[in-house]
């Protein structure tokens, strides 16, 4: 790998040397010092009149100070505007791929300083070559930005500095130092040059060098693994810091047009009418944005442009912003207000006021319907007449009534429609999908006046940027350092565990909560464990430990299920394998955690296995009760297409919540048990094809319901006769034969069955298995009695009797529960109530007549 | 690997002579910056006082206060409305003219200040020399 790289004869190195000379380095300080001294020195002239000082001296001192001030000012400006920025005649993109050009010429002052210190250090230690680690050492030693970046990443800077120094000490040494660049140094430099080009930078700075180190340097990579960091973290954080610095630099240049325009302008409203009534019930967003000019919107560029285009149209300039709550709908309006204020929008919108109408205030202050209508009409009239108002109504759907108006409902659609049709009326309505489907779509004559702008969720990267910007304010407020890994953790965890709330709201809320929680714990640094704690509390899932806990669970899944289920080794094995495959990260993250079809006769443990899986998986991972995490649906209730609304909800004719979708929305970490799936209508089964493939479904209310955190188990008795006949004939039943038979009989379609992670066959139970089940049932009774200090002895004779009474091959173990209840549990209950048995007793049950025998 | 020989190709503007570099910067490059700042402030004067906008809307009624002319033949009503509308336009024009005058005054100030500052910048090295001479030469010599 060749690299033309030598800092010694570059302009940037000369600039570095020049700017390091004390005269230039401290020129700004001296200029300020002499300026103030010059002002103070005027008093000397006064003193000279009083005779304390000769006039010559009193005049020469201010002139000397003025000379010094002007001299240092000149030096400072020369340093800042010329020395520090030597101009390049060739762009980096042209020079980087070629070996003709000296790449060192493209370093920034800071980058050059790091490289030179690194080389100097190696020279001092007479190292055989300059390793890339020397760059890291020099960066840690000299560069503030690198230290800040690493502190924000949660790295112990002092320890790393000592470690890398130690590492460099151990490098091979030469008798005499020759400037030889190591392979790793060259790779880092080339990588840094690529990153600088990708970011559109003219030169290679310290941040690009750091990203280069993260990608190419082995020492840095090890350190990242130790701190659970990824290359992307370094890239994202350095990119963000770069952006912040650019913003700060831009803000310092007060003379630029952009900064000057932030001061606003006078007289723009004079050609527009007053809006007296509107002002009473509204919030002028222009005033809010004028106070917070530095705020920059992250993401939603397309949506803002769409709103601008709609509002700039000559007719029907009414936008309807549709999106889930928390997706950033109001931020779009604020960004528009900012653009209008700064004159950065279209010529039709520049200088206009974006005014949010406070409908709640109007409704609460004006009770009388007629008066309310008159006031609203007045407000809309004023907005239209003024000619410079863009009116905004948040939650527009709340103020639109359905056909059947309920008491207390307010309907502004009739009055508003009159104005929406007018060409100069500019209006923005904000609504959710729910509101759009439930209210606005029912009133199509009103909806036709709007052009829709759908707001999608911002990406995870954008959310990280939003959180980083917010974090700066929070750090000042709470005097706390918010680590980058904590921010990444917030985005990761909220993304995974809170699928129903959109970004950025869920992440912003979590950040605020995590900061308050850390503050309450008197912490000075927001570490990822605080984030895990608050999200764990919110979702009832112990997130911090989920990974290690889940691993142990998956590895022991067979054993754990067998504690509850007798026989079915093959079935349980298949489930465990499928679950491990799904959760090891090999399977698609978009699909449900696991989808299984349990086939077998009744009473063999299909439902019980599902329950056990729910209890083991969600009961142990989650803090909540496992029943809370199991959604059981009897599919025999869904034998007609008309039953679909009950399953996924509907808006009309009557609004109803879906018995499948709503619980999954509310509790996304659940096991969905679809009992007797074969009895459901085929079209209903088709609904599940998308769930199995894509991991989501749209419910009757138009909401996207995610199934990515669910385990779906469908049970079916179909094929039981074939299983029995195989058992009777003693032949081995092949799964594929059974499935082929089911396809042939038209019970299931192949595309339905093939979408399951596994179709699992449950074998009928033999008498021996039932004995085990009887033991398990009696054990559960014994442990209940033990809590009352009563010991129950379970005899083989009793178990045999229970099995004898309950054994029916076609019903499996289903009868056993009833038999145990009728014969034993009832008797024990009676005895407990009649005090026949008391604390400390040891009892046995007579298998013949089920009478209780007290042994002690 | 050993480093390659220094590139013979000129990548950045070589400024071997510090004095020459300073002269070039002071008398050519920096004035360009001053001119651009001056231009920005001249633009800002017009923007802040909305001078082009106010001139374009000079005779529009003040705050859109306008009255509709009566229907039918009503000379009195017509004249009264005409007078009211004229008055509204005159008030509008008067207030706008006041702001335009203030704005233009500021523009003139920025214009003059810009010329003075740029001239001073050109003269700064000579001023420094003059001050130095003043300090060296004894008082009254």
pLDDT in tens, A113-122: 999 999 999 9
**How close, in Å, is residue A377 to chain B by CA atoms?**
19
The residue written with tokens 């001056």 in the block is B38
CB contact under 8 A, B99 and A265: no
Mutate to test the interface with A, among B6, B8, B12, B36 (most CBs of A within 10 A): B12
Nearest by CB to A56, from B11, B124, B139: name it. Answer: B139
* Rg (alpha carbons) of chain A, rounded to whole number: 37
Who wins on pLDDT, A295 or A638?
A638
Phi, psi of A479 (to 5 degrees): 50, 60
Q: Which pLDDT tens digit goes with each residue over A686-712?
A: 889 989 988 889 888 777 888 888 889
CB contact under 8 A, B128 and A71: yes
pLDDT beyond 90 at A584: no
- The proportion of chain A whose per-residue pLDDT surpasses 70, expressed as a percent, equals 95
Nearest by CB to A271, from B15, B49, B60: name it. Answer: B60
Which range among A74-88, A233-247, A384-398, A805-819 shows the weakest confidence by mean pLDDT? A805-819
Q: What is the mean pLDDT of residues A735-760?
A: 88
Q: Which residues of A touch B110 (CB under 8 A)?
A: none
Both tokens assigned to A468: 């980083």
On whether the CB atoms of residues B124 and A70 are closer than 8 A, the answer is: yes
Spatial separation of the C-alpha atoms in residues A596 and A401, rounded to whole Å: 45
Q: Residue B15: closest CA among chain A residues belongs to which residue?
A: A11
Q: Residue B39: closest CA among chain A residues belongs to which residue?
A: A257
The pLDDT of residue A716: 92
On whether the CB atoms of residues A363 and A287 are closer than 8 A, the answer is: no
CB contact under 8 A, A267 and B49: yes
Please give the CATH number for the structural domain made up of A107-252. Answer: 1.10.1780.10
pLDDT beyond 90 at A654: no
Q: What is the mean pLDDT of residues A776-804?
A: 86
Q: Which residues of B touch A264 (CB under 8 A)?
A: 48
CB contact under 8 A, A86 and B12: yes
Q: Which residues of B touch A260 (CB under 8 A)?
A: 40-41, 43-44, 47-48
Q: Residue B2 — pLDDT band, cuts 50, 70, 90?
A: very low
Q: Residue B58: closest CA among chain A residues belongs to which residue?
A: A271
Q: Which residues of B touch A177 (CB under 8 A)?
A: none
* Interface A-B: count of C-beta contacts within 8 A: 159
pLDDT beyond 90 at A146: yes
What pTM did the predictor assign?
0.77
Distances (CA, A) of A835 to A793, A853, B24: 19, 13, 110
Spatial separation of the C-alpha atoms in residues A185 and A643, rounded to whole Å: 68
Q: Residue B6 — pLDDT band, cuts 50, 70, 90?
A: very low
Q: What is the mean pLDDT of residues A454-467?
A: 91
CB contact under 8 A, A270 and B124: no
Answer whether A107-252 and A460-539 agree in fold: no
Q: Which residues of A touch B49 (CB under 8 A)?
A: 265-267
Spatial separation of the C-alpha atoms in residues B92 and A512, rounded to whole Å: 50
Who wins on pLDDT, B107 or A264?
B107
CB contact under 8 A, B33 and A81: yes
pLDDT beyond 70 at B13: no
CB contact under 8 A, A272 and B64: yes
Nearest by CB to A266, from B2, B12, B50: name it. Answer: B50
Q: Residue A71: closest CA among chain B residues belongs to which residue?
A: B128
- Tell me the CATH number of domain A767-854, given options 3.40.50.2300, 1.10.8.60, 3.40.50.2000, 3.40.640.10: 1.10.8.60
Give A29's contacts (C-beta < 8 A, 6+ positions apart): none
The pLDDT of residue A552: 81
Q: Residue B129: closest CA among chain A residues belongs to which residue?
A: A67
The pLDDT of residue A854: 83
Q: Which pLDDT tens digit goes with each residue over B52-103?
A: 999 999 999 998 888 888 888 889 999 999 999 999 999 999 999 999 999 9
CB contact under 8 A, A255 and B2: no
Superfamily of domain A548-761: P-loop containing nucleotide triphosphate hydrolases (3.40.50.300)
Spatial separation of the C-alpha atoms in residues A315 and A27, rounded to whole Å: 60
pLDDT beyond 60 at A798: yes
Please give the CATH number for the structural domain made up of A272-454. Answer: 3.40.50.300
The pLDDT of residue A507: 95
- Of A268, A347, A348, nearest to B53 by C-alpha is A268
3-state secondary structure A558-625: HHHHHCCCCCCHHHHHHHHHHHHHHHCCCCCCCCCCEEEEEECCCCCCHHHHHHHHHHHHHHHHCCCC
- Let me know the angle formed at the C-alpha of A734 by A732 and A739, rounded to the nearest 5 degrees: 140
Q: Which residues of B touch A86 (CB under 8 A)?
A: 12-13, 15
Q: Where are the domains of chain A?
A: 11-83, 107-252, 272-454, 460-539, 548-761, 767-854
Q: Which pLDDT tens digit goes with each residue over A98-131?
A: 778 889 999 999 999 999 999 999 999 999 999 9
CB contact under 8 A, B43 and A257: yes
- What ipTM, to 2 d.p.? 0.88
The residue written with tokens 């704690």 in the block is A533
Both tokens assigned to A253: 């240049």
CB contact under 8 A, A260 and B47: yes
Q: Which pLDDT tens digit goes with each residue over A309-352?
A: 999 998 889 999 999 889 999 999 999 999 998 888 999 999 89
Phi, psi of A389 (to 5 degrees): -115, 130
The pLDDT of residue B7: 47
- Let me know the angle formed at the C-alpha of B41 by B40 and B45, rounded to the nearest 5 degrees: 120
CB contact under 8 A, A273 and B62: no
Q: Residue A260: closest CA among chain B residues belongs to which residue?
A: B44
Spatial separation of the C-alpha atoms in residues A508 and A466, rounded to whole Å: 8
Burial code of A602-615, b = ≥16 C-beta within 10 A, e = fewer?
Answer: bbbbbbbbbbbbbb
Which range among A771-785, A800-814, A828-842, B3-17 shows the weakest confidence by mean pLDDT? B3-17
CB contact under 8 A, B4 and A106: no
CB contact under 8 A, B9 and A260: no
3-state secondary structure A688-717: HHHHHHHCEEECCCCCEEECCCCEEEEEEC
**Separation of CA A713 from chain center:** 28
Q: Which residues of A touch B25 (CB under 8 A)?
A: 78, 81-82
Spatial separation of the C-alpha atoms in residues A763 and A674, rounded to whole Å: 20
Q: Residue A82: closest CA among chain B residues belongs to which residue?
A: B25
Q: Residue A350: closest CA among chain B residues belongs to which residue?
A: B53
Spatial separation of the C-alpha atoms in residues A25 and A327, rounded to whole Å: 48
Give A572's contacts (C-beta < 8 A, 6+ positions apart): A557, A558, A561, A562, A565, A609
- Of A689, A697, A597, nearest to A647 by C-alpha is A697
Mutate to test the interface with B, among A82, A99, A279 (most CBs of B within 10 A): A82
The pLDDT of residue B4: 45
Spatial separation of the C-alpha atoms in residues B94 and A627, rounded to whole Å: 78
Both tokens assigned to A209: 């060098």
Spatial separation of the C-alpha atoms in residues B81 and B69, rounded to whole Å: 6
**How close, in Å, is residue B75 to chain A by CA atoms?**
27
Burial code of A515-535, b = ≥16 C-beta within 10 A, e = fewer?
Answer: bebbbeeebeebbbebbbbbb
Positive or negative, the CA dihedral B114, B115, B116, B120 is positive
Nearest by CB to A102, from B11, B128, B140: name it. Answer: B11
Q: What is the mean pLDDT of chain A?
A: 88
Please give the CATH number for the structural domain made up of A460-539. Answer: 1.10.8.60
Spatial separation of the C-alpha atoms in residues A204 and A3, rounded to whole Å: 15
Spatial separation of the C-alpha atoms in residues A380 and A285, rounded to whole Å: 17
Q: What is the mean pLDDT of residues A708-734?
A: 83
CB contact under 8 A, A63 and B131: yes
Q: Which residues of A touch B136 (CB under 8 A)?
A: none
Q: Which residues of B touch A74 (CB under 8 A)?
A: 26, 124-125, 128
CB contact under 8 A, A101 and B33: no
- DSSP secondary structure string, A651-666? -SSS-B--TTHHHHHH
Q: Residue B136: closest CA among chain A residues belongs to which residue?
A: A60
Q: Residue B51: closest CA among chain A residues belongs to which residue?
A: A267
């Amino acid at each position: 790998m060749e690299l033309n790289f030598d800092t010694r004869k570059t302009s940037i190195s000369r600039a570095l040397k020049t700017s390091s000379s004390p005269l230039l380095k401290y020129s700004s300080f001296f200029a300020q010092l002499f300026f103030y001294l010059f002002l103070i020195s005027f008093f000397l002239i006064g003193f000279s009149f009083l005779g304390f000082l000769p006039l010559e001296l009193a005049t020469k001192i201010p002139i000397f100070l003025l000379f010094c001030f002007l001299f240092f000012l000149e030096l400072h400006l020369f340093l800042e505007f010329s020395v520090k920025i030597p101009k390049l005649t060739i762009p980096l993109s042209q020079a980087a791929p070629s070996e003709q050009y000296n790449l060192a010429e493209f370093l920034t002052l800071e980058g050059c300083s790091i490289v030179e210190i690194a080389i100097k250090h190696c020279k001092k230690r007479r190292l055989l070559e300059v390793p890339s680690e020397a760059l890291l050492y020099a960066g840690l030693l000299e560069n503030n930005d690198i230290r800040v970046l690493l502190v924000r990443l949660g790295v112990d800077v002092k320890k790393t500095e000592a470690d890398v120094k130690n590492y460099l000490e151990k490098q091979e040494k030469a008798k005499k130092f020759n400037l030889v660049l190591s392979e790793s140094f060259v790779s880092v430099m080339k990588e840094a040059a690529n990153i600088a080009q990708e970011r559109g930078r003219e030169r290679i700075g310290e941040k690009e060098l750091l990203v280069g180190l993260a990608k190419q340097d082995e020492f840095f990579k090890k350190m990242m693994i130790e701190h659970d960091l990824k290359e992307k973290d370094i890239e994202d954080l350095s990119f963000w810091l770069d952006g912040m610095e650019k913003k700060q630099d831009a803000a310092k240049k007060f003379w630029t047009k952009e900064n000057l325009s932030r001061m606003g302008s006078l007289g723009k409203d004079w050609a527009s009418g007053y809006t007296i009534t509107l002002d009473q019930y509204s919030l002028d967003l222009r005033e809010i944005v004028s106070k917070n000019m530095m705020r920059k919107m992250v993401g939603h560029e397309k949506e803002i442009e769409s709103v601008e285009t709609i509002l700039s149209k000559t007719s029907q300039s009414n936008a309807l912003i549709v999106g889930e709550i928390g997706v950033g709908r109001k931020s779009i309006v604020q960004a528009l207000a900012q653009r209008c204020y700064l004159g950065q929008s279209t010529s039709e919108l520049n200088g206009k006021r974006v005014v949010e109408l406070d409908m709640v205030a109007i409704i609460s202050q004006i009770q009388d319907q007629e008066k309310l209508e008159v006031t609203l009409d007045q407000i809309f009239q004023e907005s239209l007449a003024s000619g410079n108002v863009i009116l905004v109504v948040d939650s527009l759907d709340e103020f639109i009534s359905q056909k059947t108006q309920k008491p207390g409902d307010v309907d502004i659609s009739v009055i508003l429609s009159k104005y929406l049709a007018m060409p100069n009326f500019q209006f923005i309505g904000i609504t959710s999908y729910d509101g759009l489907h439930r209210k606005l779509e029912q009133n199509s004559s009103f909806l036709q006046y709007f052009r829709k702008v759908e707001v999608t969720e911002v990406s995870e990267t954008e959310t990280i940027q939003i959180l980083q910007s917010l974090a700066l304010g929070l750090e000042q407020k709470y005097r706390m350092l918010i680590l980058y890994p904590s921010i990444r953790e917030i985005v990761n965890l909220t993304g995974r565990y809170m699928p129903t709330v959109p970004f950025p709201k869920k992440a912003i809320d979590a950040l605020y909560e995590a900061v308050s929680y850390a503050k309450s714990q008197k912490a000075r640094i927001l570490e990822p464990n605080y984030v895990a704690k608050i999200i764990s509390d919110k979702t009832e899932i112990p997130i911090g430990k989920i990974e290690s806990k889940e691993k142990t669970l998956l590895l022991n899944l067979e054993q754990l299920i067998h504690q509850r289920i007798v026989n079915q080794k093959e079935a349980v094995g298949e489930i465990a394998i499928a679950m491990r495959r799904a959760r090891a990260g090999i399977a698609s993250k978009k699909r449900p955690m696991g989808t299984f079809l349990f086939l077998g006769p009744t009473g063999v443990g299909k439902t019980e296995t599902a329950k056990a899986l729910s209890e083991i998986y969600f009961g142990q991972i989650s803090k909540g009760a496992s029943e809370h995490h199991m959604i059981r649906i009897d599919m025999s209730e869904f034998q007609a297409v008309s039953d679909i609304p009950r399953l996924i909800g509907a808006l009309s004719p009557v609004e109803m919540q879906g018995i499948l979708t709503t619980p999954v929305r509310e509790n996304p970490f659940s096991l969905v048990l679809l009992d007797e799936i074969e009895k459901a209508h085929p079209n209903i089964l088709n609904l599940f094809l998308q769930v199995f493939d894509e991991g989501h479904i749209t419910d009757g209310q138009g909401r996207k319901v995610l199934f990515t955190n669910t385990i779906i188990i469908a049970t079916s008795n179909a094929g039981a006769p074939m299983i029995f006949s195989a058992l009777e004939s003693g032949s081995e039943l092949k799964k594929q034969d059974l499935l082929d038979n089911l396809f042939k009989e038209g019970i299931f379609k192949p595309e339905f069955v093939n979408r399951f992670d596994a179709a699992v066959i449950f074998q009928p139970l033999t008498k021996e298995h039932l004995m085990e089940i009887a033991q398990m049932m009696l054990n559960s009774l014994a442990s209940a009695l033990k809590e009352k200090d009563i010991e129950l002895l379970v005899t083989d004779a009793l178990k045999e009797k229970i099995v004898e009474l309950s054994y029916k091959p076609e019903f499996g173990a289903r009868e056993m529960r009833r038999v145990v209840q009728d014969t034993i549990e009832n008797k024990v209950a009676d005895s407990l109530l009649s005090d026949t048995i008391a604390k400390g007793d040891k009892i046995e049950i007579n298998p013949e007549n089920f009478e209780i025998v007290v042994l002690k | 690997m050993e480093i390659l020989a220094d590139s013979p190709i000129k990548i950045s503007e070589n400024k071997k002579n510090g004095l020459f570099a300073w002269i070039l910067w002071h008398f050519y490059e920096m004035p360009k910056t001053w001119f651009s700042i001056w231009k920005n402030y001249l633009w800002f004067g017009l923007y802040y006082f909305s001078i082009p906008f106010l001139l374009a809307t000079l005779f529009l009624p003040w705050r859109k206060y306008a009255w509709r002319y009566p229907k039918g033949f009503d000379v009195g009503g017509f004249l009264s409305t005409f007078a009211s509308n004229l008055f509204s336009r005159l008030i509008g024009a008067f207030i706008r003219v006041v702001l335009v005058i203030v704005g233009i005054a500021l523009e003139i100030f920025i214009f003059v200040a810009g010329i003075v500052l740029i001239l001073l910048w050109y003269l700064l090295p000579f001023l420094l020399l003059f001050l130095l001479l003043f300090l060296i030469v004894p008082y009254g010599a």
